[in-house]
Amino acid sequence: MDRDLFEKMCSSLSSNFIIDALKDAVQVFGRNKVFSNIIIGLGESDKIVIDGMAELAKIGVIPILRAAVEHPLRAQVGIKRPDAERLL
Protein backbone atom coordinates (compact mmCIF):
# COMPACT_ATOMS: atom_id res chain seq x y z
CA MET A 1 0.00 0.00 0.00
CA ASP A 2 3.06 2.26 -0.01
CA ARG A 3 2.56 4.23 -3.23
CA ASP A 4 6.28 5.02 -3.61
CA LEU A 5 7.32 1.38 -3.14
CA PHE A 6 4.54 0.26 -5.47
CA GLU A 7 5.79 2.58 -8.19
CA LYS A 8 9.34 1.28 -7.74
CA MET A 9 8.39 -2.42 -7.64
CA CYS A 10 5.54 -2.35 -10.18
CA SER A 11 6.41 0.53 -12.48
CA SER A 12 4.19 -0.77 -15.28
CA LEU A 13 1.07 -0.69 -13.07
CA SER A 14 -0.97 2.11 -11.53
CA SER A 15 -1.96 1.86 -7.87
CA ASN A 16 -4.90 4.20 -8.54
CA PHE A 17 -6.12 1.89 -11.31
CA ILE A 18 -5.96 -1.08 -8.94
CA ILE A 19 -7.91 0.75 -6.21
CA ASP A 20 -10.52 1.77 -8.81
CA ALA A 21 -10.75 -1.84 -10.03
CA LEU A 22 -11.29 -3.02 -6.44
CA LYS A 23 -14.07 -0.45 -6.02
CA ASP A 24 -15.67 -1.72 -9.24
CA ALA A 25 -15.38 -5.30 -7.96
CA VAL A 26 -17.20 -4.31 -4.77
CA GLN A 27 -19.99 -2.85 -6.91
CA VAL A 28 -20.30 -6.19 -8.72
CA PHE A 29 -19.79 -8.69 -5.89
CA GLY A 30 -20.77 -6.64 -2.82
CA ARG A 31 -19.05 -5.33 0.28
CA ASN A 32 -16.81 -7.80 2.11
CA LYS A 33 -16.83 -10.22 -0.82
CA VAL A 34 -13.71 -8.83 -2.52
CA PHE A 35 -10.21 -9.55 -1.21
CA SER A 36 -6.85 -7.92 -1.90
CA ASN A 37 -3.36 -8.95 -0.84
CA ILE A 38 -1.09 -6.44 0.87
CA ILE A 39 2.50 -7.57 0.55
CA ILE A 40 4.46 -6.69 3.66
CA GLY A 41 8.24 -6.79 4.04
CA LEU A 42 9.35 -4.48 1.23
CA GLY A 43 10.36 -1.59 3.48
CA GLU A 44 6.96 -0.08 4.22
CA SER A 45 6.12 1.34 7.64
CA ASP A 46 3.52 -0.18 9.94
CA LYS A 47 1.53 3.06 9.68
CA ILE A 48 1.31 2.72 5.89
CA VAL A 49 0.16 -0.90 6.22
CA ILE A 50 -2.50 -0.02 8.81
CA ASP A 51 -3.68 3.01 6.80
CA GLY A 52 -3.81 0.86 3.64
CA MET A 53 -5.84 -1.82 5.39
CA ALA A 54 -8.24 0.86 6.65
CA GLU A 55 -8.52 2.32 3.12
CA LEU A 56 -9.43 -1.08 1.68
CA ALA A 57 -11.87 -1.88 4.49
CA LYS A 58 -13.56 1.50 4.03
CA ILE A 59 -14.36 0.67 0.39
CA GLY A 60 -15.58 -2.83 1.32
CA VAL A 61 -12.45 -4.82 0.41
CA ILE A 62 -11.03 -7.39 2.83
CA PRO A 63 -7.26 -6.90 3.14
CA ILE A 64 -5.04 -10.00 3.36
CA LEU A 65 -1.49 -9.54 4.68
CA ARG A 66 1.09 -11.55 2.73
CA ALA A 67 4.65 -11.77 3.96
CA ALA A 68 7.17 -11.01 1.25
CA VAL A 69 9.60 -13.81 0.50
CA GLU A 70 13.02 -13.11 -0.92
CA HIS A 71 13.82 -15.17 -3.99
CA PRO A 72 17.51 -15.97 -4.62
CA LEU A 73 17.34 -14.48 -8.12
CA ARG A 74 15.96 -11.19 -6.74
CA ALA A 75 18.19 -10.77 -3.70
CA GLN A 76 19.06 -7.22 -4.71
CA VAL A 77 15.50 -6.02 -4.08
CA GLY A 78 16.01 -5.86 -0.30
CA ILE A 79 13.05 -7.89 0.92
CA LYS A 80 12.97 -8.51 4.69
CA ARG A 81 10.36 -11.12 5.60
CA PRO A 82 8.39 -9.84 8.58
CA ASP A 83 8.14 -11.95 11.69
CA ALA A 84 4.85 -13.20 13.13
CA GLU A 85 4.77 -10.43 15.75
CA ARG A 86 4.81 -7.72 13.08
CA LEU A 87 2.09 -9.45 11.08
CA LEU A 88 -0.12 -9.66 14.16
3-state secondary structure of 33: coil
- Average the pLDDT over 54-60 and give the result: 97
Specify the number of domains making up the chain.
1
pTM value is 0.83
Domain residues for 10?
Answer: 3-87
Average pLDDT for 45-69 = 95
- Residue 2: strand, helix, or coil: coil
Q: What is the mean pLDDT of residues 59-78?
A: 83
